[in-house]
Amino acid sequence: MKATRKNQQGNQQLEIIDAVRALAHEKEISEDMLFSAIEEALKAAYKKNVSRDAAAPTNLSVTLNRNTGVAHVFARKTITEEVEDPSNQITLEEALQIRPDYRMGDIAEIDVTPNGFLRTAAQTAKQVIIQRIREAEQGKIYDEYSEKENEILTAIVQRAEPKAVYVELGRTEGILEQSEWMPGEEYHIDDHIKVYVLEVNRSGREMLRGPQVRVSRVHVGLVKRLFEMEVPEIAAGVVQIKSLAREAGSRTKMAVYSTDPMIDPVGACVGPRGNRVEKVVAELKNEKIDIIKWSPDPAEFIANALNPAHVLSVFVAENEKACRVVVPDNQLSLAIGKEGQNARLAAKLTGWRIDIKSQSQAIQMFDMEAALPQEEEAYQEYYEESLPQGGYESIPSPELSQEPIELPYDEDDTL
């Protein structure tokens, strides 16, 4: 009978070892991590079942033999001359009965494994192990998706709620909050959409399905990554995206630059017959995209940023990062854009405050200036007062208003 019981316990111990190895292989989890989880579970089970008298040990260690599955609980006690705390101290005389090489001040390990410990602790250990396995899997998923922050993923819509859309991202779930929806875009179950990964949060008690991945359809990074996918020159670093300004669902402006003078950055992004930019536009549900050439010269960059309007002159105030732009009379509405969108996006793209005037308005302003006393200080004071916050460092003369500065302009720079 005793032999049979011993064999059953031995089989149970080996089953634990086999189960750990099988789970480690299946879930791609470290065996050592699982064994450590079992040891922690056994320690918790021991503390739960052991008597709570004053001599009950509090400093415990549990070892689980990786080959046989045999578990032992050890009480760790400091060897002292006089025992004041029986739960954590032991005399040298007692310690020498356990191991003859112990010395005063050593930490003695006393085997306190109770009879039937494995059997009574098995259920508790199993529950904790399952939890640790779940945590380990979620940890792997968290690590995997944390590396995908600021990247694009293909998502499948699982369910749509009034304030959030939940999407499948492979091994975990993503949340597309209402603030990250593209205006006018509708989401239906099983829709495949490209999303930009904002951040990854570890799961909480309210979320048992694993890490939560917050995604977006409105972030400028979505446009940037889409072009990196479609334009080999961007992926290779030859063409650089210098800045982006976006009003999602409506319009995006993107400034690009080529490190190779033989490669046109705008043409590379547009692609043969426009096929590259068309793929991005299709993914963004026909959002308009203006691709403009970046320039280190602020005046030229600002003029390009206001495409599709043709710019006659740009006067800049470097210290204020402000400028006044002159456009033909028939281009004023185009330069400003519907509800100010073109000017607003150009300002975001360049980082400059932009004041747009028609040619007639500019001439009228300069004619008024020409009628004033021509003393330099009086003229400059008047002109600066007419400009936002301090005026411009480069003050054009009245004669210049009759012959505005022509800046490079390429009609193909705007889509």
pLDDT tens digit sequence for 106-121: 999 999 888 877 676 5
Question: Both tokens of residue 347?
Answer: 């300002």
Instruction: Tell me whether residue 223 is in a domain.
Output: no
Given a cut of 90, is residue 210 above it in pLDDT?
A: no
**Other CB atoms within 10 A of residue 94 CB:** 15
pLDDT at res. 402: 32
Q: How far apart, in whole angstroms, are the C-alpha atoms of residue 248 and residue 226?
A: 14
384-399 as b/e, with b when 16 or more CB fall inside 10 Å? eeebeeebbeebbebe
CATH number where 105 lies: 3.30.1480.10
Q: How far apart, in whole angstroms, are the C-alpha atoms of residue 256 and residue 246?
A: 15
Given a cut of 70, is residue 6 above it in pLDDT?
A: no
Higher pLDDT, 406 or 139: 139
Q: If we measure between CA atoms, which residue out of 262, 173, 276, 148 comes closest to residue 223?
A: 276
Q: Helices 220-230 and 275-283 sit at what angle, rounded to 10 degrees?
A: 140
Considering the domain architecture, whether residues 188 and 78 belong to the same structural domain is answered as: no
Instruction: Tell me whether residue 227 is in a domain.
Output: no
Q: If we measure between CA atoms, which residue out of 69, 99, 84 comes closest to residue 9?
A: 69
The domain boundary, picked from 175, 196, 218, lies at 218
Q: Helices 117-146 and 2-27 sit at what angle, rounded to 10 degrees?
A: 0
Residue 376: phi and psi, rounded to 5, are -55, -45
Considering the domain architecture, whether residues 302 and 252 belong to the same structural domain is answered as: no
CATH number where 406 lies: 3.30.300.20
Q: What is the pLDDT of residues 353-408, one digit of tens each?
A: 999 999 999 888 776 555 544 444 443 443 444 444 433 333 333 333 333 333 33
Considering the domain architecture, whether residues 244 and 327 belong to the same structural domain is answered as: no
Please give the angle made by the CA atoms of 247, 241 and 220, to the nearest 5 degrees: 25
* Beta-strand relationship, 322-327 and 313-317: antiparallel
Considering the domain architecture, whether residues 306 and 363 belong to the same structural domain is answered as: yes
Considering the domain architecture, whether residues 58 and 162 belong to the same structural domain is answered as: no
Instruction: Tell me whether residue 99 is in a domain.
Output: yes
Could you tell me if 378 and 372 are in contact, meaning their C-beta atoms sit under 8 angstroms apart?
yes
Considering the domain architecture, whether residues 305 and 413 belong to the same structural domain is answered as: yes
Given a cut of 60, is residue 3 above it in pLDDT?
A: no
Q: What is the pLDDT of residues 248-284, one digit of tens each?
A: 999 999 999 999 999 999 999 999 999 999 999 999 9
* Residue 402 domain boundaries: 297-415
